[in-house]
Amino acid sequence: MVKHVFSKAGLGWTAAAVALVAILLFACQGGGGGKEGGRAGRGITTGSAGDAASATYVPPGDLDKYYLFYSGGHSGNIYVAGIPSMRHISTIPVFTPYPATGYGFDDESKAMLGGYTWGDCHHPSISKTNGEYDGRWLFINENANNRVARIDLRDFKTKQIFGPIPNLSGNHGSAFVTANTEYVTYASRFSVPVPRGTYASIDQYASSYKGVVGCLKVDPNTGEMSNGFQILTPPFNWDLGSTGRGPSADWVAWTCYNSERATGELEKTAGANDRDYAIVVNWREAAAAAASGKGKDIGGVPVLDPKEVPGLCYLVPVPKSPHGVDFGPDGTYFVTSGKLEAVTTVYSFQKLQDAIAAKKFTGEEDGIPVLDYDAVIDREVQIGLGPLHTQYDDKGYAYTSLFIDSAIAKWDPKTGEVLDTIPVAYNIGHLMVPGGDSSKPYGEYVVALNKLSHGRHLNVGPSQPESSQLIDITGDKMKLLYDAFTEPEPHYAEACPAELLKPIEVYPKEENKDPMAVWDIKDAGITRNGNVVDVKMVMVRSTLYPTAIEVNKGDTVKIHMTNIEQTTDELHGFAINLYNINLVVDPGETKHVTFTADKQGVFPFYCTNFCSALHQEMQGYFLVK
C-alpha cells in the first residue's frame, strides 16, 4: 500500500509550515557570517583532513580524472574544473562577451551573441549516444533570452547560439539532450500570449497565456540546432526536465509549479494546490505528428495543440512545488520531489505506459489527460526537508539534494530506504555525480552545488562566491573532501571522464579554409575597394604584420588575422588603443573584425597575449588620416 499524502488535505500545509520554520531558523543562524558562520559554527567537519587531502591531491604535472562543466548562471559562462582537485582550469564564454579570449569582439562571435551582452545559463548537457555521454558537444540553455548554445568539445568553443526560440519565455527546463542527441529539449518557465508580441491583459492569464514545451532538432553530424516542434500547454511554470533512456528513450518529462495558473505573489498563490504536475511527452510521436503537418505554424514553429492532437503528452501529479524530475540510469523509473511537501516519489515507467493504455485518467487540463497518481507510482520516500534534485551512482543508489536541511541524502530507489545523509555548506541547489544523468553513471563523487558559502573562505566583502563541495561516495558513508568556490552561479554541472574528450591544441593549417587567411608575411597586406579597407594580417612570434595600417577617417576597416603558429599555447592577441578592439587568435585560427575608422589620429596596436621574449615588440600603428 502506498501512503497517499495528497489524500490528507492538511498535511501539505503542515509540511510547508515546517519548511517555513526551517527557512526562518536558517536565516537567523546564517545572518552572523564571519567566524561564527564558518565551519566551526555549523558543526561541519571534514573528518580526517589527511585522508581528504590525499583524496583530492593531484601532484604538480599530473592531471585530474574528470572534466567538470559548471554552468555560470547569469555570468553567461561555463566554467571548466577538474575532479578531484576542483581546480578551475578554464572559462568558456557562451552568452557574454569575454575579453580574456576576445569572445564577442570578433565579427563571428559578435554576430552569434545577437546584440545581447549577457545570458542566464543553467543546465549543461553533454551529447549522448545510447544514453551515455559521447563527448562531442556540450549544450546549455539560456533562461533570460530563450536560447540554447552548443559548445564543441573538440576545441571548447561556442559554435552556435540558437534563439530567441519562438513562443518561449524563460528557457529554464533545458538543455537536456535525448538519448542519441536527436533533440535538445526546452520548456517555458514563464507563460505569455503567443506568438510573441501578442497583448493580453493579465486578467486573462489562465486562458490566454500559454506555456510551451518543445525540442530543437540536432544535426547528427554537425550538432547544428534547428527548430523542431512545440506543444502548447496550460500556463503552468515549467521547471527542470529529464530525458528518458533505455525503454523510456522516446520520452521527456518536466515538472511545473503554479498549476494553479495564478499571477502575482506566487509565493502564496502558487501553493494552493496539494499537487502540481509533471508533463511526460513522447517526443518521437510529437516529432512525427509535426512532420505530418498536424501542427499549426505559430511564430515559425509547428505547434501541436493537445486538444487537436491527442496522445502525445500526459500530466502526472507530483508532490507540491517540485523543482525537477530525474530519470534513473536504466530508464525504468523517474523521481520527482516536492520541495514544500518533503516527499520524493518514484514513478514506474511501465506503470505509466500501462495507465496510459488503460486510460486511467482523473481529469484533464486544456486537452492533456491527467494520470491517476496511485496507478503510476512505485513508492513515496520521506528523505528530508526541501528535496530538490536527484542524481544516480554506478551502484544503483540515488542522491537527492535537500535545500532546507542543507544536506544530501543517499537512498535506494528500489526500496525507499535512506542509507546516509551528509550536511553541506550551505543550502544546496543542484548536485552532480559524474554521468549521474545518463545511462552510465561513473559514481565516485558527488559535487554539492551550494547556494550560499557564508564566509567559508577569505572575506571578500558582501559579494560572496558560490560554494561547491566535493564528496566521496565510494563507501557506505559519504565523506566531505573539499570546499571549492566559483563565480556566480553554478546551477547545474556535468562531469565526464577525462579520456572521453580529445581536444585539439592547435587548429591544423590544412583545415583552415578561410578565404582571407594568409600564412606568410609576403601574402599579408592592405587592399582598398572604395571606402572599404581589407587588411590581411599575419600573427606570429614576434610580429603583427603589416605593422602599419593607414586608412581615411570614415573608412570601413576589415582586419583578417591569421595566427600562423602550429605550436601549442602560442596564442596572439590584437588590441587597438581607444578603438575597443580586442581579439585573441589561437594557433592556426583566422578571425575577423569589422569597424569604422571614426576617430582621426594615430593609434598603437599590440599583442595582448604574452607569447615570447619579444612579445612587447609585437606592436604597430593604426593611422587614420
Nearest to 112 by CA among 591, 507, 535: 591
CB 544 within 8 A of CB 607: yes
Pick between residue 18 and residue 521 the one whose CB is nearest to Cu ion: 521
Pick between residue 72 and residue 620 the one whose CB is nearest to Cu ion: 620
Those residues with Cβ within 8 angstroms of residue 143's Cβ, 6 or more apart along the chain or in another chain: 119, 120, 121, 122, 170, 171, 172, 189
Taking the complex as a whole, the smallest distance from the CB of residue 587 to Cu ion amounts, in Å, to 11
* DSSP 3-state of 131: coil
Query: Is residue 572 at the binding interface for Cu ion, with CB under 5 A as the rule?
Result: yes
Using CB under 5 A as the binding criterion, the count of chain residues that bind Cu ion stands at 4
Q: Is the dihedral of CA 45, 48, 49, 51 positive or negative?
A: negative
Q: Is 519 left (phi over 0), alpha (psi -120 to 50) or beta?
A: alpha
For β-strands 251-257 and 237-243, DSSP reports them as antiparallel
Identify which range of 5-13, 354-362, 435-443, 609-617 contacts Cu ion by CB under 5 A.
609-617
Pick between residue 376 and residue 618 the one whose CB is nearest to Cu ion: 618
3-state helix, strand, coil in the chain (%, to 5): 15, 40, 45
- Contacting Cu ion (CB under 5 A), which of 301, 535, 618, 624? 618
Q: Is the dihedral of CA 583, 589, 595, 599 positive or negative?
A: positive
How far apart are alpha carbons 28 and 51 in whole angstroms?
34
Query: Is residue 165 at the binding interface for Cu ion, with CB under 5 A as the rule?
Result: no
Pick between residue 13 and residue 606 the one whose CB is nearest to Cu ion: 606
Taking the complex as a whole, the smallest distance from the CB of residue 609 to Cu ion amounts, in Å, to 6
Pick between residue 208 and residue 612 the one whose CB is nearest to Cu ion: 612
Taking the complex as a whole, the smallest distance from the CB of residue 618 to Cu ion amounts, in Å, to 5
Taking the complex as a whole, the smallest distance from the CB of residue 279 to Cu ion amounts, in Å, to 53
Taking the complex as a whole, the smallest distance from the CB of residue 613 to Cu ion amounts, in Å, to 11
Taking the complex as a whole, the smallest distance from the CB of residue 546 to Cu ion amounts, in Å, to 15
Query: Is residue 540 at the binding interface for Cu ion, with CB under 5 A as the rule?
Result: no
CB 432 within 8 A of CB 320: no
Identify which range of 75-83, 105-113, 404-412, 607-615 contacts Cu ion by CB under 5 A.
607-615
Identify which range of 122-130, 165-173, 401-409, 567-575 contacts Cu ion by CB under 5 A.
567-575
Pick between residue 153 and residue 539 the one whose CB is nearest to Cu ion: 539
Identify which range of 446-454, 488-496, 528-536, 611-619 contacts Cu ion by CB under 5 A.
611-619
Taking the complex as a whole, the smallest distance from the CB of residue 561 to Cu ion amounts, in Å, to 11
Query: Is residue 148 at the binding interface for Cu ion, with CB under 5 A as the rule?
Result: no
* DSSP 3-state of 196: coil
Q: Rule CB under 5 A: which of 214-243 touch Cu ion?
A: none
How far apart are alpha carbons 265 and 185 in whole angstroms?
29
Pick between residue 138 and residue 561 the one whose CB is nearest to Cu ion: 561
CB 175 within 8 A of CB 140: yes
Taking the complex as a whole, the smallest distance from the CB of residue 614 to Cu ion amounts, in Å, to 9
Pick between residue 116 and residue 574 the one whose CB is nearest to Cu ion: 574
Taking the complex as a whole, the smallest distance from the CB of residue 607 to Cu ion amounts, in Å, to 3
- Give the angle subtended at the CA of 144 by the CAs of 143 and 145, to the nearest 5°: 100
CB 518 within 8 A of CB 534: no
Q: What's the first-to-final CA gap in the chain, in angstroms?
A: 86
Q: Is the dihedral of CA 604, 605, 606, 608 positive or negative?
A: positive
Taking the complex as a whole, the smallest distance from the CB of residue 616 to Cu ion amounts, in Å, to 10
CB atoms inside a 10 Å sphere around CB 167: 24
Identify which range of 209-217, 343-351, 547-555, 606-614 contacts Cu ion by CB under 5 A.
606-614
| C-alpha cell, 168 | 518561449
Identify which range of 96-104, 245-253, 342-350, 572-580 contacts Cu ion by CB under 5 A.
572-580
Taking the complex as a whole, the smallest distance from the CB of residue 575 to Cu ion amounts, in Å, to 11
Pick between residue 245 and residue 572 the one whose CB is nearest to Cu ion: 572
How far apart are alpha carbons 382 and 418 in whole angstroms?
8
Taking the complex as a whole, the smallest distance from the CB of residue 615 to Cu ion amounts, in Å, to 5
Identify which range of 13-21, 435-443, 448-456, 616-624 contacts Cu ion by CB under 5 A.
616-624
Identify which range of 50-58, 212-220, 429-437, 603-611 contacts Cu ion by CB under 5 A.
603-611
For β-strands 398-402 and 88-93, DSSP reports them as unpaired
Give how far Cα 484 sits from Cα of 86, 194, 467, Å: 6, 43, 6
- Contacting Cu ion (CB under 5 A), which of 185, 607, 620, 624? 607
| C-alpha cell, 491 | 546551477
Query: Is residue 611 at the binding interface for Cu ion, with CB under 5 A as the rule?
Result: yes
Which residues of this chain interact with Cu ion, rule CB under 5 A? 572, 607, 611, 618
